[in-house]
Structure 1
Amino acid sequence: MQRTNWLWAAPVLLLWLATPLLAAEVRETLLPNGLRILSKEIHTSPAVTVQVWYGVGSREETSGKTGIAHQLEHLMFKGTRARPVQFGQLYNALGADANAFTSFDQTAYYATAGSDKLDALLQLEADRMTGAVIDGASLKSEKTVVLSELDGKRNNPRSVLNERVLARAFSRHPYHYTPIGERKDVEALGVAEVRDFYRAHYGPNNATLIVVGDFDTDKLLSKVRRYFGTLKPIANLKADRPPIEPTQTGEQRVELRQPGRVPALQVLYHTPAANSPDVAAIDVLDTILTSGRSSRLFKSLIETGLAAAAGGSQSTQIDPGWYSFSITPRKDPDTVLAALDAELARVRTEGVTAEELARAREQVRVSLLLGKDSIEAQANLLGSFQTTYGDYRKLDTYLAQLQRVDSKDIQRVLETYFRPTNRTVGVFIPSEATAAAPSAPEKAESFASGQPVNYDTLSRYLPTLGKSSRIREPRPVEATLPNGIRLQVLTNRSAPTVTVLGRFLAGSAFDPPGRTGTASFVAALLDEGTRTRTGEELARLIEDQGIQLGFQARRENAVFEGAALSEDLDLLLTLSADMLRNPSFPDKELERVRGQFLTGLASALDNPATVAQRTFYSTLYPAGHPFHELVSEESLKAITRAELIAFQQRYYRPQDLILTVVGDVDPEQVIARIKALFGDWRSDTPPGTLEAAAVPPVARREAVVMPGKSEAQVIVGGIGLTRTDPDYYTALVMNDILGGNTLSSRLGVRVRDQLGLTYGIYSRYSPGFLAGPFTISLQTSPTGVEPALAAVGAELERFRTTGPTQAELDRSRRSLIDRFPLTLTDNAGVANLLLEESLYNLGRDYPSTYVRTLENIRPADVRRVAERLLPIKQFTTVVVSPNAAAVAKPAAAAP
């Protein structure tokens, strides 16, 4: 679905992906009508990404007319004169991963699909560049969706604080408003003004077409000329120049008080426009201050217990932008602010060390190379530089500037921009919740079943499709060590990088009773110190080389994933072995992480979506089931160091380790090195077992009131299936048709497009060794809860009764088959596939098995599985709402 991509942090992240070769490898073409084409061939996988970036965002809006660029982005999916259908349905039928975002300076549309779909993707983007239909019906239905999106963001106090800080920091410039706009402006938007905005800003001479992936450039350009070359340019294209923001001369403060659990501190400084050479120095400063355990703020704020989290980012824009610190204080916010000022003063006075500069530069260098195997990341980078900096070639300029940054530059930008008189300080102070007054429910419409997507009609508007791309079957070199460790190593020479993925049967399902959170606690502490290295020493070794390494406890499994340059694989494996085999769980770090977990839990409990999910799990699964008990403040406080050590020794067994390595490596050398590091690891503990208590087949409804929020969160569902269930593939198809994509599924078409009750509605299965849940989730207004539930219930009942049409089934099968190769476009995706094959004994021919199985599914198979897995009269319903009236179960609630 369309979404606003808040690029407040994204530009600096995109900058780190630059490479001195990237700009040189790009071919630039300019058509007579002004369309700029940036193309780059990458033939490592049969996939291609097509993106169109328009030089328009909220920067071109004026007071009273905010949100128009974002509203137009939504309407660009509603159909064209030549294709009067939802474009999300067309992209889904192509098996494409498609979306869009609106930012301050640009609006972008992107789709990634198999390279055989390149022609189709180009036709669709050319069609809606000038042919979009913007009418009253589309605007009316999509406006409610945008308002739901807006209200959903205001469920988060940090988003509200961010919005108010930005509004205070910019008094005249349009950066005063976030791209989603003001509610009153969105409500007042009319068809004529949106249509005029479209005609004024959408056209070839205000767009950049970016194509990266598996194609032949000459053939590509021939297609582009055919589809885009006849489009007329915008007449009298205006280069809008917003009002200049006056220089700030004194510190400004914003205080937000509303219901919540965790305070927040935001400190925003005005910074220069994209083309200033100071941008690179500020980015290096940001890395030194906030990146990793060895960063300045980690030591001065987090290790001291002043804050649970501290980050920062530069938002680089066409006009002067901003740098913003985002801190979760554990002490009084003014005390934390004073500590931040003290650290900035130290750097301003003393500068930074040569070691810090070298580490920052290496982190940049490695980040550049690690991003090279993602075609989407490279296209995003080109689009960002072309639309923000005015020239994609400034990638190389930027990198050269980074390499020249020295300590004096760091001191200079601190003195120039990071002054109290140049900042706006925002503080969120949680207040006591007060019950919201009940509101009258909206007048009920007829929520009978809507019509499914007519794929026979839809097919008339699809470009001609060729045969689906063949799904490759990665065949790694495999070995099993005498201690039971299973190894799989695959060579990929496309970039000098490597990904390491490991798994243990040590997830949260194994948490001891009353000690929920133990598995996550253990995973978080593995890199905080070993018997031979302190946490700080580990961090320095990792960060000095730009290595990425993280540990996470999931529901059933604990995983660790690392990424590095191939030249640093030995160090990555050596440190991973030390952390896994010799963790020391130091008391000081244990208590620091405990504090962070407690703060994180409090923050999660302030999020309606998280509260709904937690309530759903504890309601659906009975006591005694591994998924019933949830992490709590009491359990986190009760967990002892001895219990963490016991859990790690009990469940981190070499017999359960599957270790996958994918990248620019020699398999035999990697296997030999892993044998040397892990081969003598022994464990005589018995294997963990997962036992599921029976789930009673009864309907349940739970309600949670969260005053101070704007939107309600709803989850409906029941028990799903295991990953090895024979019905898994049929359920995959059923879910895709029912709710897998909010723009093309039955639930999305009915609840989002036709009724306008939600920004997004999704259904999903969560299979594992145990049967995870089947869920349908959405956000809606408090008064929209019952209409949405009624519509969902009607759609489920109809699906159980009639099943899919043959056209729906054909579309879904092809879409799922065509999407599969997109998961294999980088090292991490291939590593995950290999792990899944080993974990569930799927076989190395699983990609082919996947295709054959889907091709053999018939409508009757889907109806049978729907009867089994969609017993709606036994489903659990959870409603989290700010309105007590909205969560009360009405007499005729559905389901």
Structure 2
Amino acid sequence: MRACVAALAALLLASCALGRPRLSTPACATGAEALPSGIQLVAYALPHRPDTLVAASYRVGSARDPAGKEGLAHLVEHLSFRARHGDGRALSARLEAEGVEFDGRTSADATDFHAVGDPDQLEALLRIEADRLRDPLAGLDEAELRREREVVLQELALRGDPDALWPQVDWLTARALAGHPYGRIATPETLRAITLEDVRAFARAHYRPENLLLIVAGPASAKAVAARARAALGELATRPGQAADPPVPPPELGAARPAALDVVRAPVERAWLLLTVPLPGDAPAGGARAYLALRALEAQVEQVLSGPDRERALSVELLVHGMDGASLPVIRIGLRGPDDARPLVERLRAGMRFAGWQGGPDPGGEELRDRLVLDAHVRLEALDASEVARWIRLTGRTDYLTGMPAAVGAAVTPDRAAFARRWLREERLVALAVVPGEAPRDDAPPRLPGASALDEDDPHGAAAAGEPAPARDAARAMRPPHLDSARRRKLKNGVRVIVSPRPGYRVLSAHLVVRTEPAGPLERVFEVLALRATRCADRPATVGGDRLEFGARAPTELVDLALAQVACRAGDLGVDAAAFERERDAMADALRRRPPTLHEAAGQQLLELLYPGHPYSAEVTEARVRAFRAVDAGKWLGLNVRPERAALVIAGDVAATDALFERIEQRLGRWRPRGGDGKLPPRPPAPLPGRRELVVVDRPGWRVAEVLVGVRVPPRGARDEAAFRTLSWRLQHALTARLRDDAGLTYRVSLSILEQSLGSALVLSTAVDRARAGEALAAMLGELAASARPLEPEALAQARWRAVRRAGGGLGTSWRNALRLTEMFVHGLPPDEWDTFAARTAALDARALVAEAGRWALGREAIVVVGDAAAIAPALQDAGVPARVLPAIARRPAPGAAEPAPGPRAAVP
């Protein structure tokens, strides 16, 4: 997305010499009311929106956790979904019964709940949130606390991998904001110290009307929302209020920063370097200032890595870690070896000392401003409930839809050089090296004190189980998206054009998608390199197993610029041989320097089991990449990127006029094929696994076992999608009920689809304590086998209804609608695929599901487990699947690498 918006910003600057276009936001009547009890009620009336959002944001987060009981706020958030009110059902079961998408999130400063349903469910959602406020932990006992605490402990373990990004950001935050509540984190010890009285006292103290911001967005008028909210809240709206919790005091950012490189020893596969400069909280300006600092730091890092030090870095990642009272622009660099950290930090400090902003020039200029404003504008359609709540909480304003983009522009308009000179000084740089060290303790994942890693979305809404919910009418569970009414044309050169208007937000998504021959991982790498060597190498592209896709998301006012961006690919497709060889050799060198990670090895094993001997499972190696030739890249582009295999999809608030089609013809009509008829040659399906197989990727000493189970299924264009999605929902729902809700065995069960035109795969994954790996695997295989058995009528009706509701969540915005339209083109689906989906699903009977499951390769599953082979292999053997062990990847430094020079050290607890 950042590359897409950057390209649009550059085009904007080049084409708008007489002034920037006015970027409009949707017509929105906003109602705001402070109820007598202290509840803030904000309603956004959006007539074009097909659904209703109800969000409850409490001014309490992990920064309020008492010392020694870190994780309390997050545990209370989890437990509130188990609360039982009037009818005795858990709150999550009531939400499940409504068929809405719901979630909870605990950050440092707030706890947010949100649910999205049909407009006629507004009263039900408001009543549920009123009951949560009335008694957040109603009916809970010690058994419920123990069970949910185990779930949170599994979540902590799942996110505790020291090679992962967020645990390392935690450690960096602890260093950058030492002594502040933002710098504390939950551990197994602090979670186990929390009692039932602790959670009840915390809920009583903080889940109060005075701390609640209630947000509703949907087609209902602000007046109607206010009346319904007051009715649902009852006495909670009218009783006299008290003082709200004050904001968490921001950290003291003027304190001296550590001058030396800090070093953390952890059981990582490679060394890492993390860098940040602590900044004031930037949420009221959409994080614009933090992003500005991040780009300035990135420029300094790029300058360092453009010289003799380029071989020291294997990868560079960027992010902004934002809290109400502080922001951390973070750069993470994957290192060749531990001894590379200190020289890079020294070069970076020197570069900051003599950076251009010290002399006064404005870093970024107007291009940066335009980029950020455009990005802020296109983010509005998503209407992230937590982001809206933070904006209101920190600004006291409710004009988020118009105010947030304006605030972004204002934040970067003043003298950015002065901002850089104040904050981006070398003495303020915080640097942390994470280097291979001792194995983790047996009783807990390796952690250091730091900002909470438990601030991401919880999957309560992903597949919450609870008690059986009453069945609903699947035929009416999803509003028709009217994608079948999109206006379609075929250009003279064969390009299909599909324009699907969606009134409302002044945003559009444009996708130029080209069907290509089926490709595995190695072939897709070749395709990426070929595209990088063309004239439009700077345009964003997605390379799939059967497609190339070039996309742009932009305000409607910039439709011509979005067309120019995606149409660039339809121009000169010649490959620059020198550029191709540079890109090829750089990738091969990176593969030589960087051995595969543990999880990359696990993914490779899964592919080899799912697609035995097929190009879909080919491993990307240095030797194979070096064998690529520029002449072959040119031939491939000429044979595959052809107009008769392409479609331009535009979805959003744009009129499908003849004038628009004429402009599209001008952009794409000059695209001509290079000989041949453009037809894709038929290929046989990828072979199925011969039997069930299990591989253990050894991770000695690791407490967690990550279990992946893949099963081959028909490709998208050849399966009954209604039956497939109904079976998939039932499978994930049953496993979540069994492993999370009943046993407290795991934090979540994930289900994903590996779409391949020659044979797709369904992949289940979870993470459990290594002692329970066999139990988890047996449950997963058991529920897969149950897919081939008929469902009882009540369970069938419930599965159909929930499958339709979940499918509806993949529609309804310009971006989602465009993705569905491109999917329909690539797989040859009929135009009414999604408009008839609900009716087709409602017509399914038990025999249709059994027939679809009969096309799955049940009994021939591919299973990969990452964990301590010595501890888990016997349990897996007991589950009835003999295990083949893949030895641990050696964690040795690069040749000549040495440990960083001594400095302040933090040991892994």
Q: Same fold (TM over 0.5)?
A: yes
| Pair 891,382 (structure 1): closer, same or farther in 2 beyond 3 Å | closer
What is residue 746 of structure 1 aligned with on the other side?
734
Match of 1:564 in 2: 554
Residue 710 of structure 2 corresponds to residue 717 of structure 1: yes
Aligned equivalent of 2:650, options 635, 646, 661: 661
What is the 5 A alignment of 1:3-82?
Answer: 25-82=29-86
**2:730 counterpart letter in structure 1:** I
Instruction: Please give the alpha-carbon distance, in whole angstroms, between the structure 1 residues aligned to 2:40 and 2:23.
Output: 21
Report the number of matched residues.
825
Q: Distance in 1 between matches of 2:470 and 2:300?
A: 57
Q: 1:757: which partner in 2? A: 745
SS at match of 2:277: strand
Q: 2:764 aligns with which of 767, 776, 801?
A: 776
From 225, 246, 255, give the equivalent of 1:220: 225
Q: Aligned ranges for residues 162-561 of structure 1 at < 5 Å?
A: 162-178=169-185, 181-231=186-236, 238-239=245-246, 245=252, 247-251=254-258, 253-274=261-282, 281-287=289-295, 290=298, 298=302, 301=305, 305=310, 307=313, 309-310=315-316, 312-329=318-335, 332-344=340-352, 345-353=354-362, 356-374=364-382, 376-377=383-384, 379-392=385-398, 402-404=408-410, 409-430=415-436, 458-459=469-470, 468=477, 470-474=479-483, 475-506=485-516, 509-510=518-519, 516-523=521-528, 526=531, 529-530=534-535, 550-561=540-551
Q: Name which of structure 1's ranges 593-602 and 885-894 shifts more when overlaid on structure 2.
A: 593-602
Report which stretch shifted further, 255-264 or 363-372.
Answer: 255-264
Is the aligned partner of 1:729 residue 2:722?
yes
Q: Matched residues in 2 for 1:395 and 1:764: separation?
A: 33
| 1:99 paired to 2:103 | yes
Q: 1:706 to 1:455 in 2, by over 3 A?
A: closer
Query: Which of 551-560 and 30-39 deviates more?
Result: 551-560
Unaligned residue ranges in structure 1 (runs of 5+): 1-17, 440-451, 539-548, 740-744
The equivalent of 2:905 in structure 1 is none
Q: Pick from 596, 612, 636: which aligns with 1:647?
A: 636
Alpha-carbon distance, 1:101 to partner: 1.0
CA distance in 2, matches of 1:241, 1:434: 36
Which letter does structure 2 place at the counterpart of 1:621?
Y
Residue 119 of structure 1 aligns with which residue? 123
Q: How many Å separate the matches in 1 of 2:336 and 2:366?
A: 32
CA distances 1:142-165 after superposition (whole Å, capped 9, x unpaired): 111111111111224233322222
Rounded Cα–Cα distance in structure 2 between residues aligned with 1:314 and 1:626? 38
Instruction: Give the match's secondary structure for 2:329.
Output: strand
Cα pair distance change 1:190/1:465, threshold 3 Å: farther
Percent of matched pairs sharing the same residue: 21
TM-superposed deviation, 1:789 = 1.4
- In structure 2, give the amino acid aligned to 1:95: G
| Pair 1:671 & 2:671 matched | no
Letter of the aligned partner of 2:375 in structure 1? S
Cα distance in structure 2, aligned partners of 1:892 and 1:787: 9
Residue equivalent to 2:895: none
> Partner letter of residue 648 of structure 2?
L
Tell me which moved more, 753-762 or 685-694: 685-694
Distance 1:795 1:823 in 2: 25
- Unaligned 5+ residue runs, structure 2? 1-21, 445-462, 882-909
* Structure 1 pair 457–704 and aligned structure 2 pair: CA distance change class (3 A): closer
Q: Which amino acid aligns with 2:620?
A: V
Alpha-carbon contact 2:598-2:697 (below 8 Å) kept: no
1:813 and 2:800 aligned: yes
- Equivalents in 2 of 1:832, 1:394: separation in Å? 27
* Distance in 1 between residues matched to 2:85 and 2:594, nearest whole Å: 46
Q: CA deviation at 1:245?
A: 4.4
Q: Secondary structure at the match of 2:649?
A: strand
Q: Which residue of 1 aligns with 2:154?
A: 148
Q: What TM-score do the two structures reach when normalised by structure 1?
A: 0.83
Cα distance in structure 1, aligned partners of 2:852 and 2:285: 60
Q: Flag the 1:828–1:276 CA change in 2: closer, same or farther, 3 A.
A: closer
Q: What root-mean-square deviation, in Å, do the aligned CA atoms of Structure 1 and Structure 2 show?
A: 3.7
Secondary structure in structure 1 of the residue aligned to 2:718: coil
Alignment check: 8 A CA contact 1:275 1:389 kept: no
Q: 1:523 to 1:308 in 2, by over 3 A?
A: same
Report the alpha carbon displacement of residue 639 of structure 1 after superposing the two structures with TM: 2.9
Aligned counterparts of 1:493 and 1:278: Cα–Cα separation in 2: 25
Q: Contact conserved, 2:266 with 2:440, CA < 8 A, in 1?
A: no
Partner of 2:778: 790
* Aligned counterpart, 1:543: none
Specify the SS of the correspondent of 2:263: strand
**Preserved CA contact (<8 Å) 1:271 1:417:** yes
Partner of 2:616: 627
Q: Secondary structure at the match of 1:630?
A: coil
Determine the C-alpha separation between the residues in 1 that align with 2:475 and 2:629. Answer: 60
Alpha-carbon spacing, 1:136–1:666, altered in 2? closer, same or farther (3 Å): same
Confirm or deny: 8 A CA contact 1:154 1:709 kept in the other structure.
no
Structure 1 residues 755-764 or 639-648, which shifts more? 639-648
CA deviation profile, 1:500-555 (whole Å, cap 9, x unmatched): 11222337x435xxxx434245336636651xx7x6xx5xxxxxxxxxx5211123
Match of 2:847 among 837, 853, 860: 860
Does the CA contact (< 8 Å) of 1:75 and 1:142 recur in 2? Answer: yes
C-alpha separation between the residues in 2 aligned to 1:312 and 1:269?
Answer: 13
Q: Is the partner of 2:370 in helix, strand or coil?
A: helix
Q: Deviations over 1:860-887 (max 9, x none)?
A: 332444455363x332221111343314
